[in-house]
Amino acid sequence: MRAPRRSRPSFEPGYGISTDDEGMLDWSWAEERLEDSRNYWVVTTSADGAPASAPVWAVWFDDALWFGTDPQSQKGRNLQRDPRVVIHLESGDEVVILHGEIGRDDLPGAAIDAYEAKYDLRPPTTSGWFVLRPSRAVAWLERDYPKTATRFDFEG
């Protein structure tokens, strides 16, 4: 497991983000939500720089988010042209936002099993999946945003 470095995100002082460590979330809290979430919003940019967002089904496995999409879909074409991505959960109350660059790989056997258990459906294909090993993440609980806002930075 890659252990991220934990700190406070940089926001304007008016947001009232705490400056001490008390209340920061643990990475295990974020991982639990990444594992349990049903839908994940993938944010890409089109060739003209316009943002594009679309939901996908995915599994959090081996410190990465794995999802399939048609390479010829809007998000598939965007990711092939520019692998930089933001992916977030559907909840605005328990927020986890991942940042990084997408790779492509075959879905590992244990991840296939996790996908099938999660969605009660075998993945339509197991080759050429998009995978995000985040370089940075931010997370917070909306009800206590100033105390819980946490940034996670990953090495390598």
- DSSP track, 98-153: EEEEEEEEPPPHHHHHHHHHHHTS--S--SSEEEE--SEEEEEEGGGHHHH-EEEE
Q: Which two tokens stand for residue 72?
A: 């010829």
Per residue in 1-57, pLDDT (tens digit) is 567 999 999 888 888 888 889 999 999 999 999 999 999 999 999 999 999 999 999
Superfamily of domain 5-153: Electron Transport, Fmn-binding Protein; Chain A (2.30.110.10)
Cβ contacts of 74 within 8 Å, gap of 6 or more: 44, 46, 52, 54
The Cα–Cα gap between 16 and 33 comes to 25
Cβ neighbours of 16 (radius 10 Å) = 11
Work out the mean pLDDT of the chain and round it to a whole number. 93
State the sign of the Cα–Cα–Cα–Cα dihedral 121, 122, 124, 126. positive
Task: Name the H helices within 1-106.
Answer: 27-36, 74-81
pLDDT of 85 higher than 90: yes
Mean of the pLDDT values across residues 53-76? Answer: 94
Mean of the pLDDT values across residues 107-127? Answer: 93
Backbone angles phi, psi at 20, to 5 degrees: -105, 175
Q: Assign residue 49 a region: left if phi > 0, alpha if psi is -120 to 50, beta otherwise?
A: left
Mean of the pLDDT values across residues 85-102? Answer: 97
> At 152, which amino acid appears?
F
Q: Is residue 41 exposed (0-12), middle (13-18) or buried (19+ Cβ within 10 Å)?
A: middle
Cβ neighbours of 155 (radius 10 Å) = 8
